[in-house]
Amino acid sequence: LASGPRPASDVLVALWSGEELGLLGSEHWARAPTIPLERIAANVNLDMVGRAGNSKLSVLGAGSAKEFSLLLASAGPRARLDLEVSLSGQGVGGSDHQTFLKREIPALHFFTGLHADYHRPSDDYARFGPEGARRVAPLVLDLVDDLASDGNLAFVPPAKEAPGATPGGFKTRFGSIPDYVFEGPGMR
């Protein structure tokens, strides 16, 4: 971002900690922001994007602004990435984009998907995929540049979930975390 042409608007780059403990870093910042929240056009959350070697990248929350789907439709092919875009306004998952969505600020969550090392000590730097990251970075830079040029995104509230549904569409909870990457029979 610093080495390219100057964006049409300010771009704030933030790194937060404490996400797994309840979005502590992003929530602290949002309660005492360094710039007024009304000046934020959108949040672009890069959380676990280091495994795009298969050229797939999930994009959650794309329904939180109507402009997102059009921007993503052109940005994905330019970056040679197969985007799995969720047009739901919900940014499923407990990542830092949720801090912005609940304040009605459009937000995207980029994610290369669950894997066997997800939230385990085995998810180490040796598993990082530089080839995929070389495609994710320009995609995000193009998107940030497009967002900086547009600037005026209207927040689209998410559709209401069915009564009794749990976040993410699960209807039943039984106190365990399933292995989301398990492809065998049943649930592990």
pLDDT per residue as tens digits for the range 4-44: 888 888 888 899 888 778 889 999 999 999 999 999 999 99
DSSP class of 99: H
| Amino acid identity, position 154 | A
Q: For residues 50 and 103, which has the higher predicted lDDT (pLDDT)?
A: 103
Beta bridge partners of 57: 83
Cβ atoms of 72 and 62 within 8 Å: the answer is yes
Confidence of residue 178 (pLDDT cuts 50, 70, 90): low
Condensed to tens digits (0 to 9), the pLDDT of residues 57-112 reads: 889 889 999 999 889 998 898 888 889 888 876 656 678 899 999 999 999 999 88
Share of the chain above pLDDT 70, in %: 84
Q: Can you give the length of the chain in residues?
A: 188
Torsion of Cα atoms, 181 then 109 then 169 then 56, to 10°: -40
Residues 6+ apart with CB under 8 A from 119: 20
Span 109-132, average pLDDT: 84
* Predicted local distance difference test score (pLDDT) of residue 113: 78
Strand order in the sheet with 107-111: 43-46, 107-111, 56-60, 82-85
C-alpha to C-alpha distance for 185 and 32, rounded to whole angstroms? 47
How many whole angstroms separate alpha carbon 73 and alpha carbon 66? 12
pLDDT score, position 36: 95
Residues 91 and 101 sit within 8 Å (Cβ to Cβ): yes
- Tokens representing 86 are 């969720």
Phi-psi region of 81 (alpha: psi -120 to 50; beta: other; left: phi over 0): beta
- Say if pTM beats, i.e. exceeds, 0.85: no
Q: CA 25, CA 98: separation in Å to the nearest integer?
A: 12
Q: What is the mean pLDDT of residues 118-140?
A: 86
Residue 53 CB neighbours (<10 A): 15
Residue 91: both structure tokens together: 């940014």
Q: What is the reported pLDDT for 102? A: 92
